[in-house]
Amino acid sequence: MSIKKISTRPFKDQRPGTSGLRKKVTTFQQPHYLENFIQSIFDVVGKIRGKTIVLGGDGRFHNKEALQIIVKMAAANGIGRIMLGLKGILSTPAASHIIRKHNLLGGIILSASHNPGGLEGDFGIKYNVENGGPSPEHLTESFYRRSLEIDTYYLFDAPDLDLEQPGENRMGDMVVEIFDSTADYTELMQRLFDFDRMRKLFGHGKFSMVYDAMNAVTGPYAKAIFEGHLGASRGTVINGNPLPDFDGIHPDPNLKHARELVEIMNSESAPDFGAASDGDGDRNMILGRRFFLTPSDSLAVLAANADLVPGYSKGLSGVARSMPTSMAVDRVAEAMGIQCYETPTGWKFFGNLLDAGRVTLCGEESFGTGSDHIREKDGLWAVLFWLNILAAKGESVEKIVQEHWRKFGRNFYSRHDYEGLESDSANALMGHLREILVGLAGSSFGHYEVDAADDFSYRDPVDGSVSTGQGIRIIFRGSSRIVFRLSGTGTEGATLRVYLERYEMDTERQNQDTQEALSDLIAIADNIAQIHTRTGRDVPSVIT
Ligand code: G16
């Protein structure tokens, strides 16, 4: 067996987005496409000879084929050992944990996260670094630059591995250890949460839950934890088998795509608690009985109740949220006397703050919540955090959230997505916003007066790096905001995201319908950005 040296030519479109390189499956199936990007990663990371990496994916279409190629490329490039998820399955949080637990060089995760799967769907590659987190921006830019000049990649000439059997295999000098990561991950969760208390919650027979794994990666982990360790009844986990096409489900845990769960939670016989995760297991959606909780509120409630959870009972060093995430957690931080950091969208921006011990909890409006236990957001962790709080308080999700609003005020919040826009018109819309920004401060729209308007830029307080152009913020007096940005995770045209937020202190007015409460801001957003005129769209594709 030998190492094959293969000549190739660069592709021009391998610049990673918000979270790794995401493209249509058919793009990745082009000869040399995947190989070019993987070789670019190996070339840029450098000093990989003899090192260990973790490898796996969310089980989506093309996962296994891609894994076989990457294993052979790793062997040819001198990697010493690969820890490979059994059947090719590894959730993003589990991969982050394995990197940290074993002090690995890093990891390659094959996932397009919450994007649709199947032959017509999406595929993706992320490289996580030695702290377990996503590659920082300077590294993803280096992968991209390398991909523009690459002319050779290396492949070990060997038969495919059997991914279905745990144990050690050899490929040349490299060892491939095929392992089941559910035990490691469960053990980490047991260190953070009060499993006894949660077992009692399920044990007295009055508490019920449904968890929707959306036929994606979390099914095996969720069954082991909820139905196994915590004694929840069988059937608590629905859509629990990872399938290449997710059985047609779009694995994005929101009100539109987690349809089955939402129907169950809105029914007369709804269980007490509902939750879902996405394709690679890093997102979460939390539902009470006939009650939807925004991810922004979820982060704020977790922070306010962290003292009830063993892993966080010593206090939080600080919290962080992405810029478009509502400012609900800011109020909790203020009350607790801790720092709240505002970062650009993308989990990679939390890495330095977590490593420096400046924050313990962080979260994003895009259904992502996490802590310093790993360096990725973590879907099942968030669900367990909620379960632990429910077990400790003995109250419903709705009651806990209502009380939170009474104490801190409510940040009415919604995100309107306009998907599949023509890139040119979406870019022109953002260009128009940038042009008018300067003149906005001081102007009034109905009752709303603009306090400040800018294109968000971030200076990392730890390493001083600066990221510009991270979204247009229009901030009104009284803590209302409209934010506009283009998604960095889509694979078709452009997606405009409009984030709307209004703060309400008056407890009498905290129970309005969210869209109603935001109706003035929705009209102002359209007026300022000329959404309808520029995109031809009357309504958003998705409202969360
Ligand atoms: C990724 C990132 C998140 C980000 C989200 C949405 O999530 O990891 O940090 O908030 O994309 O990004 P955008 O608004 O640019 O589409 P995931 O779950 O897709 O990896």
Residues 458-486 have pLDDT tens digits of: 999 999 999 999 999 999 998 899 999 99
- State the average pLDDT over residues 302-323: 98
Q: Is 283 in the pocket of ligand 1 (CB under 6 A)?
A: yes
Q: Report which ligand 1 atom has the smallest distance to the Cα of 18.
A: 15
Ligand 1: does its nearest atom lie under 6 Å from the Cβ of 376? no
* Residues 6+ positions from 48 with CB-CB distance below 8 Å: 42, 77, 78, 79, 105
Separation between Cα atoms, residue 305 and residue 12, nearest integer Å: 48
Encoded tokens for 31: 């000869």
- pLDDT for 150 equals 98
pTM surpassing 0.75? yes
Tell me the C-alpha distance between 512 and 356, whole Å.
40
Q: Kind and range of the H or E element at 458?
A: strand 458-459
What pLDDT is stored for residue 170 in this prediction? 96
CA of 414 to the centre of ligand 1 (A): 16
pLDDT tens by residue, 395-412 = 999 999 999 999 999 999
Using the predicted structure, report yes or no on whether residue 349 has a pLDDT greater than 90: yes
Question: Which atom of ligand 1 is closest in space to residue 111's alpha carbon?
Answer: 20
**Ligand 1, closest atom to CA 497?**
14
Taking residues 99-126, report their average pLDDT: 95
18 Cβ closer than 6 Å to some ligand 1 atom: yes
Q: Which atom of ligand 1 is nearest to the CA of 377?
A: 8
Please provide the average confidence, as pLDDT, over all residues in the chain: 96
Q: Is 58 in the pocket of ligand 1 (CB under 6 A)?
A: no
| CB 378 less than 6 A from any atom of ligand 1 | no
Nearest residue to 83 (alpha-carbon basis) of 60, 94, 172:
94
**Mean pLDDT value of segment 2-11:** 96
Q: Mean pLDDT, to the nearest integer, of 26-33?
A: 97
Look at ligand 1, atom 9, and give the residue with the nearest C-alpha: 346
Expressed in angstroms and rounded, the spacing between residue 113 Cα and the centre of ligand 1 is: 8
The SS3 of residue 56 is strand
Query: Is the CB of residue 475 less than 8 Å from the CB of residue 481?
Result: yes
pLDDT for residue 138: 92
Among 184, 187, 188, 197, smallest CA distance to 309 is for: 197
Predicted pLDDT at 489? 83
173, pLDDT greater than 70: yes
- Nearest CA to 219 out of 65, 53, 94 is that of 94
Tell whether the model's pLDDT for residue 18 goes beyond 90: no
**Whole-number Å distance between alpha carbons of 394 and 229:** 20
- pLDDT over 70 percentage in the chain: 100
> What secondary structure letter does DSSP report for 224?
I
From the CB of 369, is ligand 1 less than 6 Å away? no
Sign (positive or negative) of CA dihedral 211, 217, 219, 220: negative
Note the pLDDT of residue 490: 79
DSSP structure string for 246-315: GGG-----STTT-HHHHHHHHSTT--SEEEEE-TTS-BEEEEETTEE--HHHHHHHHHHTGGGSGGGTT-
- Report CA(201)–ligand 1 centroid distance (Å): 33
Distance CA 398, CA 406 (A): 12
Phi first, then psi, for residue 181 (nearest 5°) are -85, 0
- Residue 350 amino acid letter: F
Give the mean pLDDT of 280-302: 97
Q: Cα–Cα distance between 84 and 122 in angstroms, integer? A: 22
257 Cβ inside 6 Å of ligand 1? no
End-to-end CA distance of the chain: 53
Give the Cα-Cα-Cα angle 418, 419, 424 (nearest 5 degrees). Answer: 90
Ligand 1 site, residue 40, Cβ cutoff 6 A: no
Digit-coded pLDDT (tens) for 290-299: 999 999 999 9
Residues paired with residue 418 on neighbouring β-strands, in sequence order? 496
Q: Average pLDDT of 314-322? A: 97
Torsion of CA 499, 503, 509, 514, to 10 degrees: 10
Please compute the mean of the pLDDT values over residues 435-450 and round it to a whole number: 93
User: Which residue has a Cα nearest atom 3 of ligand 1?
Assistant: 346
Give me the amino acid identity at 449. Answer: E
| Residue 416 token pair | 């309107």
Exposure string over 278-309, b if 16+ CB within 10 A, otherwise e: bbbbbbbbbbbbebbbbbbbbbbbbbbbbebb
From the list 19, 113, 135, 480, the catalytic residue is 113
Distance 12 CA to ligand 1 centre (A): 23
Question: 18: CA distance to ligand 1 center in Å?
Answer: 6
Cα 384 to Cα 230: distance, rounded to the nearest angstrom: 10
Q: Note the Cα 187 to chain centre separation in Å.
A: 22
Per-residue pLDDT tens for 39-97? 999 999 999 999 999 999 999 999 999 999 999 999 999 999 999 999 999 999 999 99
- Cα 313 to ligand 1 centroid, rounded to whole Å: 29
Atom of ligand 1 nearest to the CA of 92: 20
pLDDT at 1: 63
- Confirm or reject: Cβ of 491 under 6 Å from ligand 1: no
Residue with structure tokens 């990457």? 70
Residue 359 has a CB neighbour count (10 Å cut-off) of 25
Give catalytic status of residue 111 as yes or no.
Answer: no
Q: What domains, with CATH codes, occur in the chain?
A: 3-180 (3.40.120.10), 184-408 (3.40.120.10), 410-458+480-543 (3.30.310.50)
pLDDT at 491: 81
What is the position in ligand 1's atom list of the atom closest to the CA of 485? 14
What are 363-396's pLDDT values in tens digits? 999 999 999 999 999 999 999 999 999 999 999 9
**Residue located nearest, by CA, to atom 2 of ligand 1:** 346
Ligand 1 binding pocket includes 497 (Cβ within 6 Å)? yes
**504 φ, ψ (degrees, to nearest 5):** -130, 115
Residue 129 pLDDT greater than 80, yes or no: yes
Contacts of 47 (CB under 8 A, 6+ apart): none
Tell me, in angstroms, the distance from the centre of ligand 1 to residue 462's CA.
22
The full DSSP string for 516-539 is HHTHHHHHHHHHHHTHHHHH--SS
Q: Is 542 in the pocket of ligand 1 (CB under 6 A)?
A: no
